[in-house]
Amino acid sequence: MACATGIRGLIFGLLICLAPPPLFAQVAPSANKEKPGTYSVDTDVDNYKYFVCVPKAYDGKRPAGIHLYFHGQNGQKGANNFGNWSKYFLEPYDLIGINMQYNDGDNYKDTDNKVRVAKQAVLQVMADYRVLPRGVVASFSGGGQTLGTFFTAHGKTASSRDPFWLFQHFSIYGSNFRVNATGGLPMTWFIGLGGKEWNKFTIGQSQTARAAELFADSARGGCPDVYLRIEPAKDHAISTADVAASAAMYARSSVAFTPFVYTADFPERELQQIVASCNGLALGRADTALHAIMIRASTKPEIKEKAPALKALLDERVDAVLKLSKQLSTDDPVLFAWYSVVFARQLAGHPRLKELNDIVAAVKKDAKTQRAAITDWANFVRGFPKLFNDKPGLQPGAAEFLEQVKAAVPPQSELGTMATEFLQLK
């Protein structure tokens, strides 16, 4: 998986007999293999279950991803509901939904075991369907406790080899997610907060603290694609606007960070390394190697016959990279500054790198605006810890600061959107 470095440059005991049973990485397909629709699955803990929702977009040909959700305290009765998940995530991005259902309703009890069965669920779905290691992990309210345990165990390894961490986008909706949000692979983060839930379970403090950690991490080279969305009139709930905004972020992460070739489709020795380059997002290297195979006279006919299908997948990803780069170059100078470096590394050696370079050159013609955007982001990161009170309101001087930020960046940019929304608290 691609890593990145700075915003302009450097992106990237208990008794054994009481321990839960081990979870093995190799899981056999179940009776639900390729089953359509929505259904419930039992786990090896009587009152722990999960629901699976297979989108209509899934046809068994193109591989899917996963949307994993941890419900809040006593939220188990809603586990069969995939409404907005389906509308904004599962159908548009071909993600298979997994809603955990802990029927004791308590994320703070037996949390390690709750995480273990969630991993069991992910592996089973990956065994039952054609799934790539890509997707979204989300939590609401007390579900943040379980997600925090999961993230600490597997999301902070900074390694794409962890079989249990296949996510590129985080969604924490009014969530009691109490662990430091930094330390993992580059991901996009949506952090939802309602004005009327600010002082419930100290959610206002924890959500803004996670945002502060991620903003500060961006100054050290981390991904700046972090959206703290504050909806002043919202109580303790997940709004439709939250889900829609989070899904828009996943659209970027799916282009920037996710593998896109199902390895089992290309088992041939001659293609395996090219597939590895594709999924490692070394797009230029993959294109060079694939071109060599396609023009080499000694290439086996069956390899030449399969190579165009792999080339089509590679070209589709390159198209997406360039389309996103073009959009960000006008809509969001802060994100463009970071993602353009990531994409330049991915396209190194690719014939279409020039197209990205042309986009970058066009932005640099207005160097003053670009430099100002980077400066504005740095100022925002430094000023963010001083914005909010312990209640849903702004500290003295914060409104003036946010007005300056808002005026300096495009209104549709992530930073401009946050500044506008924060100002609703004054």
The residue length of the chain stands at 426
Give me the residues paired with residue 131 across strands.
64
Q: Domain coordinates of the chain in residue numbers? A: 27-256, 275-367, 387-425
Q: What is the pLDDT of residues 165-195, one digit of tens each?
A: 899 999 999 999 999 999 888 999 999 999 9
Average pLDDT of the segment spanning 340-364: 96
Superfamily designation of domain 27-256: Alpha/Beta hydrolase fold, catalytic domain (3.40.50.1820)
| CA–CA gap between residue 109 and residue 115 (Å, rounded) | 11
Percent of the chain with pLDDT over 90: 85
> For the whole model, what pTM was predicted?
0.92
When the pLDDT of each residue in the chain is averaged and rounded to a whole number, the result is 91
Q: List Cα–Cα distances, 266 to 225, 274, 305, 350, 365, in angstroms.
A: 33, 9, 12, 22, 43
pLDDT for 2 beyond 50 = no
Q: Give the pLDDT confidence of 197-209 residue by residue, as tens digits.
A: 999 999 999 999 9
> Using alpha carbons only, how large is the chain's radius of gyration in Å?
22
| Cα distance between residue 216 and residue 384, in whole Å | 9
The predicted-structure confidence for 248-304, as pLDDT tens digits, reads as follows: 999 999 999 999 999 999 999 999 999 999 999 999 999 999 999 999 999 999 999
User: What average pLDDT does the segment 100-129 reach?
Assistant: 97
Confidence of residue 373 (pLDDT cuts 50, 70, 90): confident
pLDDT in tens, 307-339: 999 999 999 999 999 999 999 999 999 999 999
Cβ-contact 201, 176 below 8 angstroms: yes
Instruction: Evaluate if residue 34 carries a pLDDT over 80.
Output: yes
Flag whether pLDDT at 3 surpasses 80: no
10 pLDDT higher than 70: no
